[in-house]
């Protein structure tokens, strides 16, 4: 396992979850998007937080519409420390980048009854698509068997609206 560059992470995310087209209104009057990775009603309620192995690189939110990274104003050391504890206990390495999934529960619930079941399916579709694209790009990808709520508690996402949905660890 080896480190990955931000260019490699960006290329992976573009192919797997980048927005290809949008419409201003879809199900329940909510904007919809078309991506390689499917989502219930085209709502795509899952955000991807990119957590590198060191705090000097910054915690980033992937914006699939503009294909850019936004830096999150958080205690990077605490987020990375929490992430690394988990990674060491599960895969024994922290050399790479964690792609943490954070779901906007209110968004999916506005359009569907029992929306969480659809959100978990969306997370599974993202995991599958990321892993296939990573292989194609010559990267390693390991789905992480956790919801990420311990890490999410350190991020600027109110827990009454957002929930952790797992993630994928990327290496070279």
pLDDT score for 1: 65
pLDDT digits (tens, 9 = 90+) for 49-77: 999 987 788 999 999 999 999 999 888 88
* Predicted confidence (pLDDT) at residue 95 exceeds the cutoff of 90: no
pLDDT score for 164: 94
pLDDT score for 4: 93
Where are the strands (E) in the chain, listed by range?
19-23, 32-35, 46-51, 60-63, 68-71, 97-104, 140-144, 162-171
pLDDT score for 98: 94
Tokens of 75: 């205690």
pLDDT digits (tens, 9 = 90+) for 117-129: 999 999 999 999 9
* Predicted confidence (pLDDT) at residue 131 exceeds the cutoff of 90: yes
Read off the pLDDT of each residue in 142-159 and give the average, rounded to a whole number. Answer: 87
pLDDT score for 170: 96
Which homologous superfamily does the CATH classification assign to the domain defined by 6-171?
A: NADH Oxidase (3.40.109.10)
d(CA 73, CA 60): 9
Domain edges within the chain? 6-171
Quote the pTM value. Answer: 0.92
């Amino acid at each position: 396992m080896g480190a990955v560059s931000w260019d490699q992470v960006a290329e992976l995310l573009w192919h797997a979850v980048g927005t290809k087209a949008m419409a201003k209104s879809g199900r329940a009057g909510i904007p919809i998007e078309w991506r390689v990775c499917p989502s219930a009603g085209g709502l795509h309620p899952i955000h991807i937080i990119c957590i590198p192995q060191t705090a000097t690189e910054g915690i980033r939110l992937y914006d699939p519409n503009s294909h850019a990274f936004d830096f999150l104003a958080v205690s990077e050391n605490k987020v990375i420390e929490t992430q690394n504890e988990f990674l060491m206990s599960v895969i024994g390495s922290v050399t790479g980048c964690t792609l943490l999934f954070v779901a906007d529960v209110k968004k999916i619930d506005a359009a569907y009854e029992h929306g969480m079941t659809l959100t978990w399916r969306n997370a599974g579709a993202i995991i599958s698509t990321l892993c296939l694209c990573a292989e194609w790009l010559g990267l390693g990808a390991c789905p992480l068997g956790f919801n990420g709520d311990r890490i999410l508690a350190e991020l600027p996402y109110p827990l009454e609206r957002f929930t952790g949905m797992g993630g994928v660890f990327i290496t070279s």
